[in-house]
């Protein structure tokens, strides 16, 4: 197979994606990253979009086998932020010039339809900022109410497009339901993000190729691909974490296949690999999601352990982030960073 031709193929097949994920020679891997960087530049430009994340509740009614927040994990201290604390943190994010916030939690219905609507409305009323919700699988009516209240985007990772593995990892939940929710969110007009994990137990490279094609079929606006990191007191606590290089290759392949989508260089990647964020940004990624969860709570949102930057004050963390971005010759966007699919229309 001619690698250069393959990297310029507009419609890569499953086998061709697998071929890219299996590349081993250093020069060939560099070629893959370089091509992903070109595609990123062509479809998304050079700016890096920041999403300020507020992890406001670590309660979750699900029992995903890989996740530290699973309901049956009694070893972690649970917390919930008040609406005032969440709105105050949104203000802090806005004051840093960031124009997207991500409201993230486990599946926690204590934050009911009205409370989340109130929080969205209160933030949107005061600040010209985009809101991404990452609240797990919730009710169809709720998605609708939150859209009316002003939410712009919804992040709901599919985690794996392999039905059997999905049921296994997510304690018998169904992939078909996840897909229905994702389709409904799109129908409501949300910009939709999905994504998957790399290095999960029993996962193959073919599964990863299917994950990328799943995102293509769904026509997502963002694809978040991050390494699996085992969390203590979970059924997968003794497994190995996902491979950083395979994660980077998957992100690069996703960029080449999906083209005009946002791809974050995730904190999880940065947590297992020195300069993981920079490597991601050089190989197709164009988004960073700095954590603004207030200090009393931040260390308790333990989806996985060893999260980088967990003790950094927002101001210092933001300054260091700016330096890291500038060192790459890129610059931080001052826009809301809507989906490239919308802005190119
Ligand atoms: S992955 Fe999400 S839904 Fe599953 S247990 Fe963790 S927080 Fe809950």
Residue 4 lies in a domain: no
Contact 199, 228 (CB under 8 A): yes
74 three-class SS: coil
Lowest-confidence region among 72-81, 146-155, 281-290, 336-345: 336-345
* Secondary structure of the chain in HEC code, one letter for each residue: CCHHHHHCCCCCCHHHHHHHHCCCCHHHHHHHHHHHHHHHHHHHCCEEEECEEEEEECCCCCCCCCCCCCCCCCCCCCCECCHHHHHHHHHHHHHCCCCEEEEEECCCCCCCHHHHHHHHHHHHHHCCCEEEEECCCCCHHHHHHHHHHCCCEEECCCECCCHHHHHHHCCCCCHHHHHHHHHHHHHCCCEEEEEEEECCCCCCHHHHHHHHHHHHHHCCCEEEEEECCCCCCCCCCCCCCCCHHHHHHHHHHHHHHHCCCECECCHHHHHHCCCHHHHHHHCCCCEECCECCCHHHHCCCCCCCCCCCCCCCHHHHHHHHHHHHHHCCCEECCCCCCCHHHHCC
CATH number, position 279: 3.20.20.70
Q: What is the pTM of this model?
A: 0.96
Report whether pLDDT(88) > 90.
yes
Domain presence at residue 345: no
Residue 61: the pLDDT is 97
Specify if 198 maps to a domain: yes
Residue 210 lies in a domain: yes
State which ligand 1 atom lies nearest to the alpha carbon of 303. 6
pLDDT-derived band at 260 (thresholds 50, 70, 90) equals very high
pLDDT, position 277? 93
**How far, in Å, CA of 226 to CA of 308, rounded?**
14
Task: Give me the number of domains the chain comprises.
Answer: 1
Domain-located, residue 1: no
Q: Of 86-95, 257-266, 271-280, 296-305, give the lowest mean pLDDT range.
A: 296-305
Task: Work out the average pLDDT over 90-101.
Answer: 96
Q: Rounded to the nearest 5°, which phi and psi values hold at 191?
A: -80, 125
Assigned domain for 3 exists: no
In a domain, 214, yes or no: yes
Q: Would you say the CB of residue 252 lies under 6 angstroms from ligand 1?
A: no
pLDDT, mean of residues 117-136: 98
Q: What is the mean pLDDT of residues 178-186?
A: 98
Alpha-carbon distance values, 224 to 155, 220, 261 (Å): 9, 10, 10
pLDDT score of 22: 98
| pLDDT bracket for residue 344 (50, 70, 90) | low
Pocket flag, ligand 1, residue 287 (CB < 6 Å)? no
- What average pLDDT does range 299-312 have in this prediction? 81
Q: How confident is residue 316, by pLDDT bands cut at 50, 70 and 90?
A: confident
> What is the pLDDT at residue 1?
76
CA–centroid distance, 14 to ligand 1, in Å, is 28
343 in any annotated domain: no
> Which range (35-49, 71-85, 140-154, 313-327) has the least confidence?
313-327
Tell me the CA–centroid distance for residue 58 and ligand 1, in Å: 9
Cβ(268) – ligand 1 distance below 6 Å: no
Alpha-carbon distance of 127 to 121, in angstroms, equals 10
Of 57, 61, 62, 236, best ligand 1 pocket probe by most atoms within 8 Å of the beta carbon: 62
Kindly tell me if the per-residue pLDDT of 255 is higher than 70: yes
Q: In the prediction, which pLDDT does 98 show?
A: 95
- State the residue range of the domain holding 153: 12-338
Give percent above pLDDT 70 in the chain: 99
Summarize the confidence of residues 183-208 as an average pLDDT.
Answer: 98
Report the chain's mean pLDDT, rounded to a whole number: 95
The answer, yes or no, to whether any atom of ligand 1 lies below 6 A from the CB of 67, is: yes
Residue nearest to atom 3 of ligand 1 (CA): 62
């Amino acid at each position: 197979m001619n690698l250069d031709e393959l990297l310029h193929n507009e419609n890569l097949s499953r086998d061709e994606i697998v071929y890219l994920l299996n590349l081993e020679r250093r020069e060939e891997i560099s070629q893959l990253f370089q091509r992903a960087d070109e595609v990123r530049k062509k479809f998304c430009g050079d700016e890096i979009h920041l999403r300020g994340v507020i992890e406001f509740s670590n309660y979750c009614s699900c029992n995903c086998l890989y996740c530290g927040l699973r309901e049956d994990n009694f070893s972690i201290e649970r917390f919930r932020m008040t609406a005032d604390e969440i709105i105050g943190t949104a203000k802090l994010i806005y004051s840093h010039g960031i124009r997207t916030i991500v409201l993230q939690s486990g599946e926690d219905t204590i934050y009911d339809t009205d409370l989340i609507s109130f929080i969205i409305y209160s933030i949107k009323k005061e600040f010209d900022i985009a809101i991404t919700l990452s609240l797990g699988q919730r009710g169809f009516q709720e998605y609708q109410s939150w859209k009316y209240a002003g939410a712009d985007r919804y992040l709901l990772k599919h985690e794996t497009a392999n039905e059997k593995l999905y049921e296994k990892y997510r304690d018998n939940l169904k992939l078909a339901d996840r897909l229905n929710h994702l389709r409904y969110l799109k129908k409501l007009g949300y910009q939709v993000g999905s994504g998957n994990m790399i290095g999960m137990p029993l996962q193959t490279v073919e599964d990863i190729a299917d994950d990328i094609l799943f995102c293509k079929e769904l026509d997502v606006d963002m694809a978040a691909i991050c390494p699996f990191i085992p969390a203590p007191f979970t059924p997968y606590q003794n497994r190995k974490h996902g491979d950083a290089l395979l994660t980077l290759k998957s992100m690069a392949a996703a960029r080449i296949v999906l083209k005009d989508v946002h791809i974050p260089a995730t904190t999880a990647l940065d947590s297992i690999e020195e300069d993981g964020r920079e490597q991601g940004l050089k190989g197709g990624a164009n988004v960073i999601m700095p954590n603004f969860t207030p200090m009393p709570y931040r260390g308790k949102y333990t989806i996985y352990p060893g999260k980088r930057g967990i003790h950094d004050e927002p101001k210092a963390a933001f300054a260091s982030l700016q330096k890291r971005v500038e060192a790459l010759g890129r610059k931080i966007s001052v826009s809301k960073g809507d989906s490239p699919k919308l802005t190119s229309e």
